[in-house]
Structure 1
Amino acid sequence: MTRNSVPLHYQDATTLASLIATGSVSSRDVVEAHLNRVAEVNPKINAVVTLRADQALAAADDADRAVADGAELGPLHGVPFTVKDSLDTAGVPTQRGSKLFAGFTPAADATAVARIRAAGAILIAKTNLPEFSWWTETDNLVTGRTNNPWNLDRTPGGSSGGESAAIASGMSPFGIGSDVAISVRGPAALTGIVALKATHGRIPYTGHFPAVTSAWWHVGPMARTVRDVALGYSLLSGPDGVDGYAVHAKNAEAAIVPAAGRAVRVGWVSDTAFGPVDPEVTATVAAAAARLVDLGCVVERVQVPFLDGDDALSALMTLVSSALGPYLRALVGDRHGELFRTGAAAVAARDPSLTEVLAAQAKREALRSAFAEYFSTYEVLLCPVTPVTARPHGLSEHVVDGVTVSSTHVMAATSPFNLTGLPALSVPYALSSERLPIGVQLVSTWFDETTILRLGALLERKGGLDDHRPPVAARTAS
C-alpha cells in the first residue's frame, strides 16, 4: 500500500513512475505487486496469456540500480506494462489468438512496444484477443475467453478486450492495444478505463498483425487515467521511417485550432445518429454535455444526418475485408480446421465486388468532407462509445431500447472515426443501473488530440464512476 492507501497495483503509471524515480518505492516492489495481482485475479478473468515474471523482476532490479546510481530516467522508468498479443514482442510469443501462430516468437519489437520500452517501462505480459484481432469479443482456441472484471458473465469487448480487462482489474497500469472499428475504445468503455485512437498515422502500425490492413488499423494507448493515456500518446506518436502512413511530424497540429482563451465548442449526439442506443447511455452522454457547460464550454445538441453508423460500418468492413479476406485465405491454406469460429468467418466471407469497394470509398470521402464541415463550426463531437454496456458472452443479437439489432451494432458509434481516420477518446464516466461502466467518446478534427485529451481529463469518472476498481467477482464465470 502507498501513503494514500491505494494499493500499488491500482496506482496509475504516472504516479508509479514518480514513486520509483524518487525512491519512495522500488521498481521490484511495483512489479511484484502486479505479478501478485495477476496470480490473484487472472484465473477468473483470463486477460494475461503470456507472463514474463522472471524477466520482469530482473528488469526491475536493473531499474532500481539505475535509480540508485543517479542515471537519467525515462518517463516510465521501472513501470510495468502489457501489450495486446497482435503486436510483436522480441523474444516473447506473439500468438495473435490463432493456432496458426501458436508459439510464434518474433525477433523484433513492434515500433510501439520499442518506444514504451525506451521510456523505461518493463513488459510483464501479453494480453488476450480474438483470432486475428477480428471480432468485438475476446475468445479464441489458443488462449480461451476473457471475462469482464465488472461481471465475469459479461464480455470486456474486443479486439483489445484482454488489454482492457487486465488494466481495469489492476494487473497492469498501462498497455498498448489496437483499433480497426472499435477495438481500443469499446473495450475501454465496457471495463471503465481510458483509450485513445489517435489520428490515423499518428502512431506507427509497424509490427502489428496483419500488415495488409494498415490503411485502417490504429495502435493506441490504454490506461486507467487520461493523463497516462496522454503520456503514452506522447511517447508512441511520430514517424518511424517504416510505416508509410506514419509520415507526419510528431508536433503536427490541426489546420484549425481553437483560439487561445475562447470557449471550446462542443456538439453532442446519441441515438439520433447511432440509434438505437440504450437510454442510460444517452443519459450519460447528456450528463457529460451538461458538465462541459459547467466547465465553460459552449455545448449544444446537434443533428448530424451524415452519421449513419451502420452505413459507415458497412463501408469500413467492405474496405478492410477487401484486403483481409484474400490475405487470410492465402495464409490459412488447408488449415481451416484449426480456426476459431470468428477467424473461420473472416476467411469464408465473400470478397466485395469492385462496385462495392468503389461505393465504400465514395462513402469514406463523403464522410470526411462532412466532418471537415462539422469541425469548421465545432471543435469536438461528444457521443456514445458503445450503444450498450457490457453484454453477456456470445450473443449474436442485442435488444437495445426495445429494438433487436445484430451484435455488430456495438460498432455503430466508433466505426465512422476509423473510416475517416479522426482521433477519438473513450473516457469512463458513469455506472449503469447494473453497476457496469458507461463511457463517453470525444472526437476532434484530424491532428487535434490535445483538445479531446484536455476535455477527457475534466470529464473522467465525474458521472458516478468514482472508483475505477471493479469488483472482480469471486465466483467462477459460467
Structure 2
Amino acid sequence: MTNLTRYDATQLAEMIRNRDVSPVEVVQAHLDRIADVDPKINAIVTIADQALADAKRAEAAVLRGDVLGPLHGVPFTAKDSIDTAGVLTQRGSPIFKGRNPDTDATSVARLKQAGGILLAKTNLPEFSYWIESDNLLSGRTNNPWNLARTPGGSSGGESAAIAAGMSPLGLGTDLAISVRGPAAQTGITSLKATHGRVPMTGIWPRAPRRFWHIGPMARSVRDIALAYSLLAGPDGHDAFSSSIGAAQPASGALKGGLDTSPLRVGWLVEPGFGPIDPEVAATVKAAAEAMRQAGHHVEAVRIPALELDFALDVFNRLHVMEMKPAFRAATAGRRDDEIYMMARTMLATPDTSMADFIDAEQAAERLRDGFADYFSRYDLLITPVQPIPAQPHGTTEFRINGQTVDATYLQGSTVPLNLTGLPGMSMRFGTSHDGMPIGIQLVGAWQAEPTLLHAAAILEAVSPVRNQHPLI
C-alpha cells in the first residue's frame, strides 16, 4: 500500500479490521511521511516513542481476534497544549520545555480507549494564543498548500499535519477560531462542538474555560462524526461538560439518525462579521446554493444581534480580564526573551474597566438571545470561517473588500460561537484565485451537532474541491 497516508481514519480502521493492512504498516507509513515532508512544514514537535510498540500490540490483538474499537490501530495526533502521558506537552513555550505529563487529557484517553494510537504532538503559538502557529521553542509552521502562507492558529500545526498526510485525525483547541480557522486555511474539516460537549480536562489553562473548546480535525466529515461520538460526554472533572443530548454514533449522524425533512437554511456574509473577501463570500453563496439544489429551504438572512454588538469587540473586553491571571502565573519571574510576543501583548493590554466588563457580559447575552431567535426559525446557518484565505506569514494588517483591518479581524465570524457556545463546523468548499483553500462555517443550535454533520455530509458529497490535496 503506497497511499496509506491519504486514507481517512474510518477507512484505515476498516482495512485494519479486515486484515487488509496492519497497524504497524499504517503507523510506519505516517512516520515515513513525517520524515519526508515535515522538514518543510514544521508541524510536528514531538514523536510519540511508543507509537510503533503500540501498533505491534494492536496488530497482535487483530491476529488474536479480539474485539476491536472503532479506531483500532489508527494513528492520531494532538496539539501540544493537550496533555499526553509520557509524551512531552510543552505548550509552545520555553517556560514549559521538557514538561512530561503523568496522565492523558480526557480527549486523548478517549481516542486511545477506542483503539487509536498517539503518533505525535503538533505545533501551536505559545499558550495557544494567536492566529499563526509560531513560538520561541519550536518555531513556525508552514501551510502545505504554500509554504509562504500560515496554516493558522492556534491549531495550525495540527491542521498542517493532517492536510499534508502526516496524520489522518487530530485534536485541537479553540478559544476564538483555533480549530475552525486552521482547518479552513489548510483545506481540512473540523468541529467546535457545543460548549461543554467535550471535556477540557488536561488542557492548559485549567481556568478560565467558559470560551474554550476542544475538537476533532480530519480530512472527512465521517471522521469528524466518528471522533465526536467518541469524545463527547462528561468526565466527572470538567464542570462544564454535559451529557444532555448524548452524542450519536457516526452512523446515526450521517445515515438516517435524523429527521430527513428539508432543512431550513440561512446564509450570511455581511453585515455582522466585519469585511469579507469577495471570493470567500462567493464560496459561502455557492454552498448555500448547493443546499438549495439538494432540496432544502435556503435564503439569505441577517441576524440583528450581530449588527448591534460586534462579537469580536465583546470577546476582547471579556477574555483579556479572564486570561491575564493565567498568563501572569505562567510567566512570573521570566525574562521578556523567554516569552513570545502575544503573551507580552496580552500582559501589556490595559485591564477592562468593570463598567466595560459588565457591558460586555450583557452584550454577550444579547448575542445568545439573537442566535436563539434565529434558530427558532432555522435549522442551520452558513457563514465564512474567516474573511480571507490563508495569509502570508507575519501579516498584521489586511485590506479586505475596501476596508483596512488588523489581524484580529480574522476571528470576526468564528468568535460569536465561542461567546455563545454554539457548535460550528469548518469545511472546504472553494479555492482562491491563487490556489488556496476557502472554507465555510456551518453553525447549529445548541446541542445540534447531528444537524451540522448531516449538512456537512450533504455538502461534502457535492463539493467542487472534494479529494483535493496539497502537492507537497
TM-score range, shorter chain: over 0.9
Question: The residue matched to 2:46 in structure 1 has which SS?
Answer: strand
The CA deviation at 1:310 is 7.9
Give the TM-score normalised by the residue count of structure 1.
0.94
Question: 1:82 aligns to what?
Answer: 77
Deviation per residue, 1:425-457 (Å, 9 max, x gap)? 001111111110011111010001001111101
Question: The residue matched to 1:164 in structure 2 has which SS?
Answer: helix
Deviation per residue, 1:245-279 (Å, 9 max, x gap)? 003346179xxxx9934310000010333231110
Give the TM-score normalised by the residue count of structure 2.
0.95
Question: The residue matched to 2:133 in structure 1 has which SS?
Answer: coil
Distance of 2:462 and 2:454 partners within structure 1 = 14
Instruction: Say which of 7, 20, 31 aligns to 2:16.
Output: 20
Question: 2:298 aligns to what?
Answer: 299
The CA deviation at 1:318 is 2.2
Question: 2:202 aligns to what?
Answer: 207
Question: 2:26 aligns to what?
Answer: 30
Question: 1:436 aligns to what?
Answer: 436
**Residue 192 (structure 1) aligned with residue 192 (structure 2):** no
Question: The residue matched to 1:328 in structure 2 has which SS?
Answer: helix
The 5-angstrom pairing of residues 113-132 of structure 1 reads 113-132=108-127
Contact 1:309 1:416 in 2 (8 A): no
Question: 2:53 aligns to what?
Answer: 58
Contact 2:303 2:370 in 1 (8 A): no
Contact 1:202 1:250 in 2 (8 A): no
Question: The residue matched to 1:109 in structure 2 has which SS?
Answer: coil
Distance of 1:191 and 1:462 partners within structure 2 = 19
Q: Which letter maps to 1:11?
A: Y
Question: 1:43 aligns to what?
Answer: 39
Question: 2:372 aligns to what?
Answer: 372
Deviation per residue, 1:254-311 (Å, 9 max, x gap)? xxxx993431000001033323111000000111111000111100001223214982
Question: The residue matched to 2:50 in structure 1 has which SS?
Answer: helix
Question: 2:251 aligns to what?
Answer: none
Distance of 2:308 and 2:400 partners within structure 1 = 15
Displacement over 6 Å in runs of 4+: none
Which has the larger displacement, 128-137 or 426-435? Answer: 426-435
Distance of 1:386 and 1:66 partners within structure 2 = 44
The two structures, once aligned, show a CA RMSD in angstroms of 1.6
Distance of 2:262 and 2:460 partners within structure 1 = 19
Contact 2:229 2:247 in 1 (8 A): no
Contact 2:5 2:30 in 1 (8 A): yes
The 5-angstrom pairing of residues 354-373 of structure 1 reads 354-373=354-373
Q: Which letter maps to 2:380?
A: V
The CA deviation at 1:330 is 2.6
**Residue 68 (structure 1) aligned with residue 63 (structure 2):** yes
Question: 1:100 aligns to what?
Answer: 95
Contact 1:239 1:250 in 2 (8 A): no
Question: 1:476 aligns to what?
Answer: none
Distance of 2:102 and 2:260 partners within structure 1 = 49
Q: Which letter maps to 2:6?
A: Y
The 5-angstrom pairing of residues 56-455 of structure 1 reads 56-249=51-244, 251=246, 260-308=259-307, 311-337=310-336, 338-455=338-455
Gaps of 5+ in 2: 249-256
Give me the identity figure in percent: 53
Deviation per residue, 1:194-242 (Å, 9 max, x gap)? 0000000000000011111211100000000010001000000000000
Deviation per residue, 1:314-336 (Å, 9 max, x gap)? 21222222121122113211203
The number of residues matched between the two structures is 463
Gaps of 5+ in 1: 473-478
Question: The residue matched to 1:141 in structure 2 has which SS?
Answer: coil
Contact 1:274 1:309 in 2 (8 A): no
Contact 1:309 1:413 in 2 (8 A): no
**Relative to structure 1, is the Cα distance of residues 267 and 109 closer, same or farther in structure 2, using a 3 angstrom cutoff?**
same
Distance of 2:299 and 2:392 partners within structure 1 = 34
Deviation per residue, 1:352-400 (Å, 9 max, x gap)? 1211211111011101111111001001111100100000011110111
Distance of 2:107 and 2:40 partners within structure 1 = 29
**Relative to structure 1, is the Cα distance of residues 185 and 293 closer, same or farther in structure 2, using a 3 angstrom cutoff?**
same
Q: Which letter maps to 1:293?
A: R
Contact 1:83 1:177 in 2 (8 A): yes
The CA deviation at 1:75 is 0.3
Contact 1:155 1:390 in 2 (8 A): yes
**Relative to structure 1, is the Cα distance of residues 334 and 309 closer, same or farther in structure 2, using a 3 angstrom cutoff?**
farther
**Relative to structure 1, is the Cα distance of residues 468 and 366 closer, same or farther in structure 2, using a 3 angstrom cutoff?**
same
Question: The residue matched to 1:440 in structure 2 has which SS?
Answer: strand
Q: Which letter maps to 2:14?
A: S
Distance of 1:264 and 1:250 partners within structure 2 = 20
The CA deviation at 1:465 is 1.5
